Amino acid sequence: MHWEKYSRQKINSVVFEAIGNNLNYRDSPPIGLPASYLDSKVFYSDAPFLGDAPFMSTMVANPNHIGCHTLGDSEPVFKGTQQLERELIDICATQIFGAEPDSVDGYVASGGTEANIQAFWVMRNYFMEVHGASLDEIAIVYSADAHYSMPKGGNLLCIQSIVADVDQETRLIDQDQLKAKLKEAEKQGIKNFIVVMNMSTTMFGSVDDMASTIDSLESLGLNFKIHVDGAYGGFIYPFSTEDPLYSFQNKHVISFSLDAHKMLQSPYGTGIALIRKGYIEYAMTKEANYVKGKDYTLVGSRSGANAVAIWMILRAYGSAGWKAKIEELLDRTEWLCAQLTKRGLKFYRHPRMNIVTLKPEPISLSLAAKYFLVPDDHESPSWWKVVVMDHVTEGILDQFLIDIDKELKNG
């Protein structure tokens, strides 16, 4: 894994050059586009700080990245910033997920939800067009710990869900029970399976056992394709673990979802959809005639500034810098776990992730509220999670542990 770190000056000059390669609404007014710079009464473009603020300058310039820019034609008026989007997709595909050059399509989506649904949409249409499947012959398979965008996607796309139970301690899919459910689904006429593997889950940071799941699917001779939901763990797990199954080297994996607006701390609206080449065409909307190169994405218009923000963060760290940051967060998580263990407290943690999910016993509602801990279920919490991010410093964790000690003392 390697991508170069750029200096602040280089980042600035690349982004300003990219903006310069886009059409400037002021210099050459595009009278046919329903687009313009941001309202100049509110977002004035001569604000002095903008000259040193490439992301804000891109916001004000307001490029629309409608469509997908890793294949076919694209709207030429935004070619400068589209190039940065292509570069960030390439970094994620080849350097983070081991793809061969030019073997993956992708775009910056509104978030993990959209990237997941985009993948289901592509695969559903693939099964329908290539395997002649009807809607009731396709199902999405995912674990009970998967994000709620899975049932949301199934509902929107009119395909059924098969939900695999997980072991309450290890959070791993119960493979025997999964096989029984898959056999039953086959009996009901389901012939094509879109299988979601979590890298990692939202609540636990658990990572699905891909090898066992593939064994289960293959032992039943099923027709399946895998989508990896890396919306939470996509910028963590590949940096903490070498796992070729969670990469494009695994022939079953068709797509990944990532969310730069989680661990990468980029602005909201920075999900990333990565799809092996040869598949995104199944989601092409041929009626998108006014979009140059047609539209292969779920969303339609989307801000080019979001792509620039992701590109800037990736370039500001480089691969080595990002790995070091993840190591630092994992050290802090490790330390928290050691402190909890010392106190005899029960929790779940995947050893290569930065989420610690606590059993509720020592955590009163007021303590949970003080630290904004997130429950698995707001009605009746069985777990509370702590996510060790940049702002969750040793000092804050110390204070949290002091408060836990007080609760333990008071019984």
Interface with ligand PLP (CB under 6 A), residue from 54, 67, 111, 375: 111
Residue 304 has which token pair?
A: 């080019």
Q: Cβ distance 123 to 227 under 8 Å?
A: yes
Candidates 24-32, 109-117, 283-291, 336-344; binding stretch for ligand PLP (CB under 6 A): 109-117
- Count the residues of the shown chain that bind ligand PLP, applying the rule CB under 6 A: 13
CB closer to ligand PLP, 271 vs 375: 271
CB closer to ligand PLP, 202 vs 354: 202
* Spacing of C-alpha 115 from chain mean position: 7
- Determine the 3-state secondary structure of 321 from DSSP: helix
CB closer to ligand PLP, 58 vs 113: 113
Number of Cβ within a 10 Å radius of residue 275: 28
Separation between Cα atoms, residue 31 and residue 303, nearest integer Å: 20
Interface mask toward ligand PLP for 145-184; x: CB under 6 A? --x-x-----------------------------------
Separation between Cα atoms, residue 189 and residue 401, nearest integer Å: 53
Residue 342 has which token pair?
A: 């010392």
Cα dihedral 94, 97, 102, 107 sign? negative
CB closer to ligand PLP, 11 vs 272: 272
| Residue listed under structure tokens 């943690």 | 349
In the bound complex, what is the minimum distance in angstroms from residue 167's beta carbon to ligand PLP? Answer: 19
Residues numbered 4-43 forming contacts with ligand PLP, rule: CB under 6 A: none
DSSP character at residue 96: I
Q: What is the CA radius of gyration of the chain?
A: 23
In the bound complex, what is the minimum distance in angstroms from residue 246's beta carbon to ligand PLP? Answer: 13
Interface with ligand PLP (CB under 6 A), residue from 22, 70, 94, 113: 113
Q: Torsion angle of alpha carbons 359, 361, 364, 369, nearest 10°?
A: 0
CB closer to ligand PLP, 113 vs 192: 113
Candidates 64-72, 107-115, 152-160, 176-184; binding stretch for ligand PLP (CB under 6 A): 107-115
In the bound complex, what is the minimum distance in angstroms from residue 229's beta carbon to ligand PLP? Answer: 5
Told to check if 202 binds ligand PLP by CB under 6 A, we report yes
CB closer to ligand PLP, 196 vs 222: 196
Residue 224 has which token pair?
A: 């399946």
Candidates 91-99, 100-108, 111-119, 132-140; binding stretch for ligand PLP (CB under 6 A): 111-119
CB closer to ligand PLP, 147 vs 294: 147
Residues numbered 214-233 forming contacts with ligand PLP, rule: CB under 6 A: 229, 231-232
| Residue listed under structure tokens 């989601």 | 283
CB closer to ligand PLP, 119 vs 217: 119
CB closer to ligand PLP, 162 vs 197: 197
In the bound complex, what is the minimum distance in angstroms from residue 268's beta carbon to ligand PLP? Answer: 8
The CA distances from residue 329 to 257, 285, 289, 390, in Å, are: 22, 42, 47, 7
DSSP character at residue 408: H
Q: Cβ distance 39 to 29 under 8 Å?
A: no
Separation between Cα atoms, residue 105 and residue 297, nearest integer Å: 11
In the bound complex, what is the minimum distance in angstroms from residue 166's beta carbon to ligand PLP? Answer: 14
| Contacts of residue 66, Cβ cutoff 8 Å, sequence gap at least 6 | 75, 291, 295, 297, 300, 301, 302
Separation between Cα atoms, residue 194 and residue 206, nearest integer Å: 20
| Contacts of residue 98, Cβ cutoff 8 Å, sequence gap at least 6 | 244, 247, 248, 249
CB closer to ligand PLP, 58 vs 200: 200
Q: Which residues bind ligand PLP (CB under 6 A)?
A: 111-113, 116, 147, 149, 201-202, 229, 231-232, 259, 271
